[in-house]
Amino acid sequence: MTDSKRHNPSTVSAVPPAFSAIYSHAVEIPPDTRLLLISGQIGVAPDGTVLSGFRAQCAQAMANVEALLAAAALRPVDMVKVIYYLTSAADLPVLTAMRQEHWASSNPPAVTTLVIAALARPELLIEIDVTAAARVSAGSRVDG
């Protein structure tokens, strides 16, 4: 969401330059905004296939997020909060590269990244939870 306000004050640690297009400490949502809360998306294709390997699962989870955003007439730039759950810290560099490749923005979301012991199914390696926001305008309501 481009008209939301990012807060990266000097009173907290500076956002490293490598992360400035993919991370904000806080995002303020203006009034008259609609929110889309996307349940955690995993590396499962539309046919139910669990993809093999972290990169493939991450790409599919991102594609799932983008499909849900599109269903609500939103775009990745409208993401205001993203939570990544990974089962291996070794995958963090790949996640960072994929975020920079797919979702870099001059208005990056607030982000939390957690490395956890496991997800709901043992073969899952990543889950992505997203909140997106867009200004309400005449005719902007999307049913479906």
Range from 1-5, 29-33, 68-72, 132-136 carrying the lowest mean pLDDT: 1-5
Q: Tokens standing for 81?
A: 């909060």
- The mean per-residue pLDDT over the stretch 115-140 comes to 90
Q: What pLDDT digit, counting tens, does each position of 66-109 carry?
A: 999 999 999 999 999 999 999 999 999 999 999 999 999 999 99
Q: How far apart are CA 37 and CA 22, in angstroms?
A: 19
pLDDT for residue 80: 96
- Tell me the C-alpha distance between 109 and 131, whole Å: 9
Is the pLDDT at 143 greater than 90? The verdict is no
Percent of the chain, pLDDT > 90? 81
Q: Quick check: is 89 in a domain? A: yes
Does a structural domain hold residue 63?
yes
pLDDT over 70 at 144, yes or no = no
Report yes or no on 97 lying in a domain.
Answer: yes
What is this structure's pTM?
Answer: 0.88
In a domain, 18, yes or no: no
The mean of the pLDDT values for the chain is 92
Question: What was the pLDDT predicted at 139?
Answer: 56
Average pLDDT over residues 22-31: 89
Residue 11 lies in a domain: no
Range of the domain at 59: 24-135
Residue 15 covered by a domain: no
The number of distinct structural domains making up the chain is 1
> Average pLDDT of 121-140?
88
Is the pLDDT confidence value at 111 over 90?
yes
Is 6 inside any structural domain?
Answer: no
| 73 belongs to a structural domain | yes
Q: Is the pLDDT of residue 33 over 90?
A: yes
CATH code of the domain covering residue 58 = 3.30.1330.40
